[in-house]
Amino acid sequence: METRTVRKQVTFSQPFQLAGCDGAQPPGSYTLTLEEEQLDVLLFVGWRQSAATLQLTHGGTTDYVAVDMQELTDALLRDSDPSTDPPATPAAAKAQSRARQRLARGS
């Protein structure tokens, strides 16, 4: 099965916390690495995410933390930085769009 690695930048404007991280992380841009494997279908080319890691650098030390994409998406939504467009599955992107619309309406 063919695999690929995709790297994206995610930006937090406020401190954030994710499971697997030691305490709150400072605001900033972080590298997100997604491991994907190609779906075995004949009609189209598709990819399924198999792993996601976030690169955390503190005082010259770099840690790679496995993250849950839904938890990351939720944290980015809480951060409410409209310029941040997290890499997400279509369902998560749709939920994010609805959440942004609710925020814009003030609900």
Give residue 1's pLDDT: 73
Q: What is the pLDDT of residues 54-107, one digit of tens each?
A: 999 888 899 999 999 999 989 999 887 555 555 555 556 666 667 767 666 765
At a CB cut-off of 8 Å and minimum separation 6, what does 56 contact?
Answer: 21, 25, 30, 62, 63, 64, 65
pTM for this model (two decimals): 0.66
Query: Which has the minimum average pLDDT: 7-11, 31-35, 76-80, 92-96?
Result: 92-96
CB 1 within 8 A of CB 40: yes
Q: How far apart are CA 41 and CA 78, in angstroms?
A: 36
Task: Note the maximum CA span of the chain.
Answer: 48
